Amino acid sequence: MGTNTNELSSAEETGVLIAGAGIGGLTAALALHAEGIRVTVIERVRQITPLGVGISLQPHAVRELTGLGLEDVLAATGVATAEQVYADGHGERRFAEEAGMAAGYQWPQYAIHRGELQLLLLDAVREQLGPDAVRTGTRLESFADELDAVRVRATDRATGLPATIEARALVGADGARSAVRAALHPDQGPMRWSGVRMWRGVTESAPFLTGRSAIIANDEHNVQLVVYPVSARRPLVNWVCLAPEAAPGPLVENVGWNREGSADDVLRHLAGWDFAPLGVDIHELVTSTPAIFEYPMVDRDPLPGWGRGRVTLLGDAAHPVYPTGANGASQAVVDARVLAKELAAGGDTAAALARYEAARIGPTGDVLRANREMDRSMRKREGRDPVAAITDKYRQTTGGDVATVNAGA
């Protein structure tokens, strides 16, 4: 994707201004546009490129994206997960369960490269809203919520020129380290570290099991390895290694964030592991990965309230969660649908945002707490029955069970 060349004017107006062109922000732009609401997205990076690793889109998120007309492009890009296989470090199966439509859902569960999903959403936004709907290289500096509008001060990073944007509402969809959240909640403190270190990567690898299987394995040291394919176009496999390193507590600066990882560090935690019975060569998988990302597994305690007046939060900016449960991106997609629905209902903007927050703050808090509990339980589980009980409880707690999703909740 090319760099945006449309410079901000010194003052302009928009309907809803979204800060952040990630999965949540772009989905919100599409959902708002579908409701006839004018939208502008600003993004601080100058060029949006397909960065990141694999993620899962749960059926409740795929339902919303299908409603936005993205069914075919999702099917052509991601892998419709058919089963999740739980195993030990020696590749011995402990439990398996069907996923997505194979499990009775009306919509698939997709494993997809985060960067590819972001780009397909970006293409859809620019096609439907126009090429200037997403302003890259634009950094939000501050905002003021006034009686008739939110006035946002931004900077064009290419020219250094300031600009003021007036909007009906400001949506902070700018990620776990959100500038909008920090302004709304200056005393929020550091993120909460689980004590678990993560290494993630994507590499080309031969298909395994059904070709649409996800493997979740644990050993006696509470190390976990997750492996699944993420692309319908190329033989790409995503892997995640999680290893306990410290007691849970506040995230401190020297823990590091999204830094370059080492294959040797990963393999040190997987010594003695063998996925040959599952059709995966762990050593080859890790050593062939062109870029390994290392970072702590973190979240934040739920906020008592997200926004204020004409300003609100969405996705990771509102509720960053552990990747356990593979639900973070999916919750951002659902946020976007509810936000658009409430703003389209008309009336006072602040009241509409308050309704959106009221509808989503409870369920996303439930997901956050369920992810913490699932992480604790899954990495210390024993036997078949606890796995089935853990996954069933998680779906029921987070609203992701077949009956709920297929009923349109």
Residue 169 domain-assigned (yes or no): yes
Note whether 17 and 115 are within 8 A (CB): no
Q: Provide the pLDDT for residue 384.
A: 46
In a domain, 59, yes or no: no
Does one domain contain both 122 and 182? yes
Residues 308, 358: one domain?
Answer: yes
For residues 17 and 165, the answer to whether their CB atoms sit within 8 Å is: yes
Residue 383 has pLDDT above 70, yes or no: no
How large is the average pLDDT for residues 234-253? 91
Determine the pLDDT at residue 349. 96
Give the E-state strand segments of 205-351 in sequence order. Answer: 213-218, 224-229, 236-244, 249-250, 259-260, 293-299, 311-313
pLDDT value at residue 52: 85
Give residue 335's Cα distance to chain centre.
12
**Do both 147 and 253 map to the same domain?**
no
pLDDT band for 198, please (50, 70, 90 cuts): very high
Q: What's the confidence (pLDDT) of residue 83?
A: 97
Rounded average pLDDT over 337-364: 96
Query: Percentage of the chain surpassing pLDDT 70?
Result: 93
- Is 66 a member of any domain? no
Would 91 be classed as within a structural domain? yes
Please give the model's pTM, rounded to 2 decimal places.
0.93
Same domain, 37 and 127: yes
| Residue 86 belongs to domain with CATH number | 3.30.9.30
- Does residue 390 lie in a domain region? no
Question: What pLDDT is recorded for position 49?
Answer: 86
What is the per-residue pLDDT across 21-42, written as a single tens digit (0 to 9) for each?
A: 999 999 999 999 999 999 999 9
Pairing of strands 39-42, 11-19: parallel
Read off the pLDDT of residues 68-107 as tens digits, 9 standing for 90 and up: 999 999 999 999 999 999 999 999 999 999 999 999 999 9
Average pLDDT over residues 112-122: 97
Label residue 2 by pLDDT band (50, 70, 90). very low
* Least confidently predicted of 116-120, 157-161, 182-186, 287-291: 157-161
* Mean pLDDT for all residues in the chain: 91
97 & 241 share domain: yes
Examine residue 398 and state whether it is found in any structural domain, yes or no. Answer: no
Domain boundary among 276, 299, 322: 299
Q: How far apart are the C-alpha atoms of 181 and 171, rounded to whole Å?
A: 10
Shared domain for 211 and 174, answered yes or no, is no
> Mean pLDDT throughout 232-256?
88
Q: Are 189 and 249 within 8 A, CB to CB? A: no
pLDDT, mean of residues 311-336: 95
Report the DSSP beta bridge partners of residue 40: 17
- Residue 395 in any domain: the answer is no
Same domain, 315 and 361: yes
Mean per-residue pLDDT, 98-123 = 96
What is the count of structural domains for the chain? 2
- Considering 299, 324, 353, which residue would you say is the last residue of a domain? 299
How would residue 255 be classed by pLDDT, with cut points 50, 70 and 90? low
Same domain, residue pair 220 and 330: no
Burial degree of 220 (CB within 10 A; 0-12, 13-18, 19+): exposed
Q: Is 292 found in the same domain as 265?
A: yes
How would residue 253 be classed by pLDDT, with cut points 50, 70 and 90?
low
pLDDT of 97 reads 94
Question: Do 259 and 185 fall within a single domain?
Answer: no
What is the pLDDT averaged over residues 196-216? 96
d(CA 48, CA 2): 8
Instruction: Calculate mean pLDDT across residues 262-276.
Output: 97
Q: Are residues 257 and 322 in the same domain?
A: no
DSSP state of 308: B
Provide the CATH number for the domain around residue 37: 3.50.50.60
Domain presence at residue 354: yes
* Domain span holding position 294: 73-112+191-299
- Specify whether 106 is located in the same domain as 180: no
